[in-house]
Amino acid sequence: MDKIRVGISDYEESSFGDITDSHNTSTVTNLYSEPLIRLYDGKIWPALAQSWQSFDDGYRWLFYLRPNIMFHDSTPCSVVDVIESFEEIKSQSTKTGMPSPFERYFSKLNFRIINRLTLEVTCDTPCGDVAEILSGITIRRTKRNEKPVIGTGNYTYAKYYAGKTVRLEKRSGLKHLSAYDQITFYIIPDAEERLAALKKGTIHFAANLEQLPGQAQDPDFTWWKCVSSKSTVGLLNAFEPPFNDPQARLAINYAIDVDQIIHEVVCDLAIPAATIGSPFHCGYDNAIKPFIYDPEKAKILFDKVEMPSQLEIFASEKFPMRSKEITALIAAQLEKIQIRTKINMISDEIEYQRLIEKKQAGHISLFHSASNSTYRILSECVSSVEKGRWWQGFTDEETQKLILAANTEDDITNRERKYSAVLYHLNQNPPWLYLFHPISVYACLPEVKDVELLHTEMLRFPGSW
């Protein structure tokens, strides 16, 4: 096959510096542009930078770019372009109007050009997470909102028909690559329509079929399943009772039968979550086990804390998938131990995110954590020092000591070990209601044998990166 057609559920048109949680958008973006380095499966891998070093206990870092990197317009890529990309995304806002998380990260970093292929990063305090922070930004050359987007990847951004298709073409001069000459993404929001398009031969590959109401698998296709690094959780309001008490946070994790939710709501397409990260995050240890459903233990713990007349549960109608059913089952399970609830379903996803940012989403807010970076989850959701965008008041002195020890460790092996200590401690002292990591389902025609599905829910095509 020289060309492949892929059905995806969504795509956000990308202008320079955009911040997105859409794995489909990330799949496309990573085909035509490259980050300085890549983060997947909890580890850092080369990309534009072929190597890097840390010095002075993490105060200073050097990143060495590959030689002869060219943008699609045949102009050379240098450290100047890397820094301009960092500055551009730093100035962007999130969908809810909040400042970019990179603004906070970059306020502690200083960038300097050593030569056109060597970038120096110095830190105000020792930082072992510099590489992981910079991995989230792809390097592209264009001014804000201008088209076309020009990257350094092995595919060029050819055509975009709003809400319909995105077409990429293999970069000229790369004939040696075992890669598709053309990749066309068909934007088909409805999962049943994506499957129908596969049956008709309109597309060769259908993504996100876990969204189908039923899971019968047509034997004419090749089916894939992959556990996602995304986490579906309940954020807990730790500013006020009951979840300002660690016993109540333990109690809620014993009170909810996650296995029942996985079986009845998501058709067994998930695995239980045990801590703030997935098995594919830096520091995860398989010895960390999920909570075992124990309603009697939950009731005993809840009886020891100050309880409101009812727990308010907030959720968005579309965020995460099947949120209505998940929320309803959580409420039903809490009713079994005589805890009354009130469910608030928010129709507007952006408004729902604003409520969480303002700490106004009740006692429990259904949420999914999409970052693949252990550092970023801790910084944006857990740390009581950083008090990031999604932090809900969780404060624990031991947690903060462990986070600081991991953040300041620049040795790779020791860094993983110290992040493991954080994840284990947060298993024993949960800031959230841990629910599950979803399983992605994809189907393709039998002749498609060389597309890889990653735990990030991104697709990797041969010759792409």
pLDDT at residue 287 tops 80: yes
Q: Check: CB of residue 432 under 8 Å from CB of residue 236.
A: yes
pLDDT on residue 422: 98
Confidence of residue 20 (pLDDT cuts 50, 70, 90): low
Q: Domain extents for the chain?
A: 34-139, 231-439
pLDDT on residue 161: 87
Sign of CA dihedral 293, 296, 302, 308: positive
Determine the Cα–Cα distance for residues 308 and 102; give it in Å rounded to an integer.
Answer: 37
* Mean pLDDT computed over every residue of the chain: 91
Residue with tokens 């932090």: 391
Condensed to tens digits (0 to 9), the pLDDT of residues 382-408 reads 999 999 999 999 999 999 999 999 999
pLDDT at residue 464 tops 90: no
pLDDT at residue 22 tops 90: no
Q: How far does CA 459 lie from the centroid of its chain? A: 14
pLDDT on residue 303: 96
394 is written with which tokens?
A: 């969780």
pLDDT on residue 175: 61
Confidence of residue 21 (pLDDT cuts 50, 70, 90): low
Quick one: which of 8, 127, 42 has its CA closest to 373?
42
Please name the residue ranges forming H helices in 119-167. 130-134
Using only C-alpha atoms, the chain has a radius of gyration, in whole angstroms, of 23
Determine the Cα–Cα distance for residues 23 and 453; give it in Å rounded to an integer.
Answer: 11
Same fold, 34-139 and 231-439: no
Determine the Cα–Cα distance for residues 43 and 413; give it in Å rounded to an integer.
Answer: 11
pLDDT on residue 261: 98
148 preceded by cis ω (within 30°)? Answer: yes
Alpha-carbon distance values, 463 to 55, 66, 174, 330, 435 (Å): 34, 17, 9, 45, 36
107 is written with which tokens?
A: 């306020």
pLDDT at residue 104 tops 50: yes
Determine the Cα–Cα distance for residues 428 and 174; give it in Å rounded to an integer.
Answer: 51
Q: Decide: helix, strand or coil at residue 180.
A: coil
Task: Spell out the CATH class of 231-439.
Answer: alpha beta
Long-range contacts, 65-70 (Cβ 8 Å, 24+): 65/117, 65/118, 65/119, 66/117, 67/117, 69/152, 70/152
Domain covering 34-139 in this structure, CATH number: 3.90.76.10
Condensed to tens digits (0 to 9), the pLDDT of residues 31-84 reads 999 999 999 888 999 999 999 999 999 999 999 999 999 998 889 999 999 999
Confidence of residue 16 (pLDDT cuts 50, 70, 90): very low
Confidence of residue 18 (pLDDT cuts 50, 70, 90): very low
